[in-house]
Amino acid sequence: MIEFFQQLLNGLSLGAIFALIALGYTMVYGVLRFINFAHSDVFMVGAYAGYYLGRFIPEHTIWGGLAALAVAMTVCAILGVIIERLAYRPLRSAPTLNVLITAIGVSLLLQNLGQFLFGATPRPFPELFPVTLFIFHGIYISSNQLVVIGVTLALLFALRFIVLRTKIGTAMRAVSQNPKAASLVGINNDLVISFTFALGSALAAAGGMLYALNYPSIDPLMGVLPGLKAFVAAVLGGIGNIPGAALGGLLLGVVETFVNGSKNWSTYKDAIAFALLILMLLFRPAGLLGSFTKEKV
């Protein structure tokens, strides 16, 4: 039983990171209807931003860690806006496929620029937050796991507030429902899309830093697999649906951790996300919380 709760906790802290990345995918899909493949590499840039900031701030302090997190999120928000402005905006009226390929191109570009600038060898990630290990009824809880879960919860509530309670959040929802109608009522679609990219990329940066804290080595290709899985999480929850992405992320994190901890199936942990995805799409294509829309002629 103790092992079950231990795995559940590990799964939740991994799932929290998936959820943060998945939110970026789902928001961009909501407003632009395409898979932003470069998102997983923004996640990587977020981790590297944390790595370089770690040199300037004292290690093992909560405020230092949070400051690094905030700066990394800002850096990636700006990066996300730049990517959107230069690579995706010119293709606003092109077929989805072309945008998809451009996104893949941006993803490859970031990976290879990363390998060139940061070096291809994995690097140890600094311990930005104070590290202690709590033991609660036999369950090992590392302070980093608490940081991951705490930061994720805070960001989720902040996101919920922005999307539901602010003017720009309302505009975001309007654009995702119907871009043409949104611009008819005076919403500046381009601005909303830029804002969505900034928001999503900031969350990805937070995810990247938190991921690096728990899996303490980073490399320029680190984003690929978590990125794909986070996208799977977004689809599991119902793509375009913000609570769905958080739910899908947590679910995927927990399932993957349990598979990883099982005796015979641990080597299949990278496949389980896709197997879940396929099952979900076959039986409930709209995802857990999504609503199904029938295509009309």
Residues forming contacts to other proteins in the complex (CB under 8 A) are 33-35, 87, 90-91, 93-98, 100-102, 104-109, 111-113, 115-116, 224, 228, 231-232, 235, 267-268, 270-271, 273-275, 277-278, 281-282, 285, 295, 297
Instruction: Work out how close the CB of 279 gets to other proteins at its nearest, in angstroms, rounded to a whole number.
Output: 9
9, two tokens: 């906790």
Nearest CA-CA partner of 246 in 269, 230, 224, 222: 230
Pure H helices in 33-61: 39-53
Nearest CA-CA partner of 106 in 127, 82, 87: 87
Instruction: Work out how close the CB of 151 gets to other proteins at its nearest, in angstroms, rounded to a whole number.
Output: 28
Which CB, 60 or 269, lies closer to other proteins?
269
Which CB, 3 or 270, lies closer to other proteins?
270
Measured over all CA atoms, what is the biggest interatomic distance in the chain, rounded to whole angstroms?
61
d(CA 278, CA 33): 20
Contact between 200 and 80 under an 8 Å Cβ cutoff? The reply is: yes
Instruction: Work out how close the CB of 86 gets to other proteins at its nearest, in angstroms, rounded to a whole number.
Output: 8
Cα dihedral 136→12→219→45 (10° resolution) = -120
Instruction: Work out how close the CB of 26 gets to other proteins at its nearest, in angstroms, rounded to a whole number.
Output: 12
In single-letter form, the type of residue at position 8 comes to: L
Which CB, 203 or 235, lies closer to other proteins?
235
Instruction: Work out how close the CB of 98 gets to other proteins at its nearest, in angstroms, rounded to a whole number.
Output: 5
Which CB, 157 or 268, lies closer to other proteins?
268
Which CB, 98 or 217, lies closer to other proteins?
98
